[in-house]
């Protein structure tokens, strides 16, 4: 089976970068994947990306060695199984609040005996290889988003979930839930940072990786410096938004 490059990067002691795809288009995904990122995330929670869009994006990304992750809309087993069958090499699940949520998520992503994933890896076998079913449990990544006060309160139990690979912080929801920000994507205030530190420490204490979303280079640098294993540096829409600066400097 095609190895998961993210696992190899972490095994060699390095961190990995990620970019978020929120435009929902195959050509855009291909352009971004060719830029040299370690991994990309196809967002199906907040982006206007339906399953057919995601499939086209995954095909486009696989013209490169960029690792394709997909964020599903919610913790629903059918959503998790479908994106894995379409060739996602990792699933990010939003709003994991309890160890029970985490167990249900991991079960949907793992074949028996570890979980309850149903067999039908149509495009996944093309992307991963003929031995996909035998090796998928050790290869694809299960990534739980920690982004509420309840999740923070339960973070140590969530981190110990068997088969879970990463705690991934959603800073906007986390700050809003804690009442420390108004939903800021790159929060540097003391209280949100303290929560971020707690989640990072819980992941590493449990022997799993830690990731975080952000949209600016400065935030990403600060998060890599803390020791995060995966940082979403920016999004396709943010990159496109840079056009605004060009208008400003060239305005008559
Ligand atoms: C958040 O910041 O809440 C996220 O889910 C990142 O996309
Ligand atoms: Mg969120």
| Cα pseudo-dihedral 61, 58, 14, 197, rounded to 10 | 130
67-71/209-212 β-pairing? unpaired
141-146/39-43 β-pairing? unpaired
**Residue ID of nearest Cα to ligand 1 atom 4:** 170
What is the whole-number distance in angstroms between the Cα of residue 168 and the centre of ligand 1?
A: 9
The predicted pLDDT at position 183 comes to 97
With beta carbons less than 8 A apart as the criterion, state whether 213 and 232 touch.
yes
Cis, bond preceding 216 (omega within 30 deg of 0): no
How many domains, in total, are found in the chain?
A: 1
The predicted pLDDT at position 166 comes to 99
Smallest Cα–Cα separation from 17: which of 37, 36, 3? 37
Residue 142, strand partner residues? 91
Mark the ranges of the chain whose per-residue pLDDT is less than 70.
Answer: none
Smallest Cα–Cα separation from 58: which of 138, 127, 133, 135? 127
The predicted pLDDT at position 172 comes to 98
Q: Is 170 in the pocket of ligand 1 (CB under 6 A)?
A: yes
Q: What is the CATH number of the domain that holds 13?
A: 3.20.20.60
The predicted pLDDT at position 4 comes to 98
Residue 39, strand partner residues? 18, 67
pLDDT in tens, 59-97: 999 999 999 999 999 999 999 999 999 999 999 999 999
Q: Is 173 in the pocket of ligand 1 (CB under 6 A)?
A: yes
The predicted pLDDT at position 133 comes to 98
The predicted pLDDT at position 121 comes to 98
pLDDT in tens, 47-59: 999 999 999 999 9
Where in the sequence is the domain holding 227, given as residue range(s)?
5-251
């Amino acid at each position: 089976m095609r190895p998961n490059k993210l696992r190899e990067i972490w095994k060699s002691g390095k961190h990995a970068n990620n970019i978020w795809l929120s435009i929902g288009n195959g050509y855009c995904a291909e352009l971004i994947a060719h830029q040299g990122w370690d991994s990309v995330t196809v967002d199906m929670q907040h982006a206007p990306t339906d399953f057919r869009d995601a499939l086209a994006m995954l095909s486009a990304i696989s013209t490169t060695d960029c690792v394709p992750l997909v964020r599903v809309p919610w913790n629903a087993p059918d959503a998790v199984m479908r994106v894995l069958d379409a060739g996602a090499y990792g699933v990010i699940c939003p709003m994991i609040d309890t160890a029970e949520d985490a167990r249900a998520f991991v079960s949907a992503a793992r074949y028996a005996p570890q979980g309850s994933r149903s067999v039908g890896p149509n495009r996944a076998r093309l992307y991963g290889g003929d031995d996909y079913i035998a090796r998928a449990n050790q290869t694809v990544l299960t990534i739980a988003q920690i982004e509420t006060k309840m999740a923070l309160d339960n973070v140590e139990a969530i981190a110990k979930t068997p088969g879970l690979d990463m705690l991934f912080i959603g800073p906007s929801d986390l700050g809003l839930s804690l009442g420390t920000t108004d939903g800021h994507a790159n929060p540097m205030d003391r209280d949100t940072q303290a929560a971020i530190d707690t989640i990072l420490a819980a992941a590493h204490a449990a022997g799993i990786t830690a990731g975080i979303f952000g949209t600016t280079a400065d935030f990403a640098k600060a998060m890599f410096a803390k020791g995060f294993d995966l940082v979403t540096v920016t999004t396709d829409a943010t990159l496109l938004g840079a056009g605004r600066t060009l208008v400003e400097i060239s305005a008559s």
